[in-house]
Amino acid sequence: MKYLAFIFITCLLFSCHSQKQDPEMAHLASLAKNDIPLPPPEYGDWLYRHKERGQNLAAYQATKPISSATTIYLLPVGDFTASQTRAFQDASAYIAIFFQRKTVLLHPIPDSEFTSRIFEGHRQLLAPYILDSVLLSKRPANNLAMMALSAKDLYPQDDWNYVFGLGSYGKRVGVTSIYRLQEKNFLRRLVSISSHEIGHMLSLHHCIHALCVMNGTNGLYETDRAPLRLCAECQQKLFWNLKYDNQKRLQELMAYCKENGFQKDWEIFNKDNNQNE
């Protein structure tokens, strides 16, 4: 009994010491008061159809996602207009801020030979083909994540209509389509879906804890409802992995939102900022 008591006290002291040694994690946990509650799923919502278990910090740490790689790569596949190319440049800047890692926008490659199908009169690309047969062979040695960007619609398998994007947890490759983003809120939707898919590449699962950019979405209404912000729990997971300067990241996110007219997201990020002061 004395031995067990000694172990308990030792573990307790070690736990307290660990918390003192990592005040940034404790601060991120305290941001939970700024989380926006996730409403109960209704018919048509992602969580209405997909009964997901979520992923807490301990489960994330158990995936051992830490990598010494330094750079995120964005690879356009297909043909694009000048305005779409500018949007990709803006998205690249956002991804660099969101993950606090160097982000490189590569030159486009053709998609004419990609596996595809005709769906409702337009050509859809098979997303897993892009991941496994295109991106894996093109990953640079310092690749933290590599994501293709397509102007064509995507499908993950024959019995699905479409997906906005797809990301691989283990292979750190993914793809995002702009086909269904339309003109309204185009850039915001692009950076939301892109950061979501790259989050998957860094082993973040869908968030079921609060409204969060890592929420699963079954349509643009759910994409638009979710903030660009990670909830407090997902912020802890990403910081534990990448170890960036949280205050610098937050200030840059706020500046980007202000510059691009994302007022609601600026207000949400500003709540975290006020808690820092």
- Could you give the angle at the alpha carbon of 192 between the alpha carbons of 37 and 146, nearest 5°? 130
What mean pLDDT comes out for the span 10-30?
65
The pLDDT, as a whole number, for residue 221 is 94
Residue 16 has pLDDT above 90, yes or no: no
- What tens digit of pLDDT does each residue of 84-131 get? 999 999 999 999 999 999 999 999 999 999 999 999 999 999 999 999
The pLDDT, as a whole number, for residue 21 is 57
pLDDT band at 139 (very low <50, low <70, confident <90, very high): very high
- Could you give the angle at the alpha carbon of 123 between the alpha carbons of 78 and 152, nearest 5°? 40
Tokens of 128: 């897993």
Task: List, in sequence order, every residue forming a beta bridge with 124; answer none if it has no partner.
Answer: 117, 153
What mean pLDDT comes out for the span 73-87?
96
The pLDDT, as a whole number, for residue 3 is 40
Tokens of 131: 């991941």
**pTM as predicted:** 0.89
Q: Is 217 helix (H, G, I), strand (E, B) or coil?
A: coil
Q: Are strands 173-177 and 165-167 parallel, antiparallel or unpaired?
A: antiparallel
Q: Are 105 and 74 in contact (CB under 8 A)?
A: yes
- Could you give the angle at the alpha carbon of 163 between the alpha carbons of 159 and 168, nearest 5°? 100
Q: Are 187 and 260 in contact (CB under 8 A)?
A: yes
Residue 8 has pLDDT above 60, yes or no: no
Residue 7 has pLDDT above 50, yes or no: no
pLDDT band at 13 (very low <50, low <70, confident <90, very high): very low
DSSP class of 136: G
Q: Is 248 exposed, middle or buried (0-12, 13-18, 19+ CB in 10 A)?
A: exposed
CB environment 82-117: b (16+ within 10 A), e (fewer): eebeebbebbbbbbbbbbbbebbbbebeebeebebe
Residue 34 has pLDDT above 60, yes or no: yes
The pLDDT, as a whole number, for residue 177 is 96
Residue 19 has pLDDT above 50, yes or no: no
Tokens of 255: 């500046």
What mean pLDDT comes out for the span 210-230?
96
Which bin fits 135, alpha (ψ -120 to 50), beta or left (φ > 0)? alpha
- What tens digit of pLDDT does each residue of 183-216 get? 789 999 999 999 999 999 999 999 999 999 999 9
Q: Are strands 102-105 and 71-77 parallel, antiparallel or unpaired?
A: parallel
What mean pLDDT comes out for the span 66-71?
86
E strand or H helix at 12: helix 2-21
The pLDDT, as a whole number, for residue 66 is 78
In order of 110, 161, 162, 169, 244, the CA distances from 157 in angstroms are 22, 8, 9, 18, 37
Q: Taking the CB of residue 202, how many other CB atoms lie within 10 A of it?
A: 23
Q: Which of 18-27, 46-55, 137-146 has the lowest mean pLDDT?
A: 18-27
Residue 14 has pLDDT above 50, yes or no: no
Percentage of the chain beyond pLDDT 90 is 85
pLDDT band at 275 (very low <50, low <70, confident <90, very high): confident
E strand or H helix at 73: strand 71-77
What mean pLDDT comes out for the span 252-269?
98
Q: Are strands 71-77 and 173-177 parallel, antiparallel or unpaired?
A: unpaired
pLDDT band at 2 (very low <50, low <70, confident <90, very high): very low
Tokens of 33: 């008061």
Q: Write phi, then psi, for 135 (nearest 5 degrees).
A: -75, -40
Residue with tokens 């500046």: 255
The pLDDT, as a whole number, for residue 18 is 42
Alpha-carbon gap, residue 162 to 104, rounded angstroms: 27
What structural domains and CATH numbers belong to the chain?
28-276 (3.40.390.10)
The pLDDT, as a whole number, for residue 277 is 66
The pLDDT, as a whole number, for residue 11 is 42
